[in-house]
Structure 1
Amino acid sequence: MTDIRSFRNACYEAARRTGGKVIEFRVADDVTPNFHQGLIAYRERTVAIACTRDSAVLALAEPRTIDFVDGVGESGPLTFVDAPELVAVLAALLPGSQVLTPPELNGPFDAATWPHISPDDITYWRPGTLGEALFHYWD
């Protein structure tokens, strides 16, 4: 399980060390999504640090737009981004965690490598990439 306090603290410290500012946290407290997000704003872009709820796996992604006016929340696969400096800082701040890169996340999903993912979910949702299997909005 992911400790929310440690994740938040790591996001704030990572932002400080990389010249960004935390602008929002999206804590997954419902069935979906299966990950929390810390959004860090930089001059040129905003990056979402996604952290799975059930394991110490992190990824960097484009922040999703949430449209609550029409009752539509976030859904669909994440678009993963590369930020090597931020990855290095997160790895140092969260020892024991695994920060995956876009090539890994956009690559094929091998269920044998990730046994904690439910075989029933894999059969039903049929994730095409590792990123879809690890960071999702499945119910």
Structure 2
Amino acid sequence: MHELKEFRRTCCLVAARTGGRVVEFRVADGVTPNFHQAIIDYRERLVAVVMARDTGVVALAVPRGVTGAVREAGPLTFVDFPKLTGALVDNGRFVVLTTDELAGPFKAAEWPALSSYDVQSWKPETLGETLYNYWD
């Protein structure tokens, strides 16, 4: 839970530094998804900062839709937003992955904390699919 508090604090800080504001936190408290989201509003777009619960690794994505009990599922669409990525990296609290890294292959040896059963069952093709998912 401490990591979640730090995630919230960091997102508010970097949003303010980059001309945005956090408009919503979506805390994943069930089995799925396996990531939390901070939705940051910039006048030209919304960006989700997502943090994987298993690893604490952060990335930027298109925010997922949530309407009542209906939630979008499936692979996230990761995005580049250099000023936000730079602010997150400069903050130094979390490892931040780029779209290129997330589109690359998953190498199990580099992520020992992840469930080998889930990886074998779901057969993700990319690092992004492996780290941020709706697997049950």
TM-score tier by shorter-chain length is over 0.9
One-letter code of the match for 1:79?
T
Name the Cα RMSD after superposition: 1.4
How many Å apart are 1:3 and its aligned residue?
Answer: 1.2
The percentage of counterpart residues that share the same residue type is 54
Partner deviation per Cα, 1:79-138 (whole Å, 9 max, x = no partner): 00001211121122243x210001110111111111111111011000111000000111
- Matched residues in 1 for 2:39 and 2:24: separation? 5
Equivalent residue, structure 2, for 1:91: 89
Q: Which runs of 4+ in 1 moved over 6 A?
A: none
**What residue identity is the alignment partner of 1:75?**
A
One-letter code aligned to 2:36: H
Aligned to 1:128: 125
Aligned letter for 1:83?
Answer: F
1:14-93 equivalent positions in 2, closer than 5 A: 14-68=14-68, 71-93=69-91
Structure 1 gaps of 5+ residues are none
Count of matched residue pairs? 136
2:3 is matched with 3
In 2, the alpha carbon distance for the partners of 1:37 and 1:2 equals 16
Q: Deviations over 1:36-83 (max 9, x none)?
A: 100000011000000011222000000011232xx4212100000001
Structure 2 length normalisation: TM-score? 0.94
**Which stretches in structure 2 are left out of the alignment for 5+ residues?**
none
C-alpha separation in 2, matches of 1:118 and 1:92 = 30
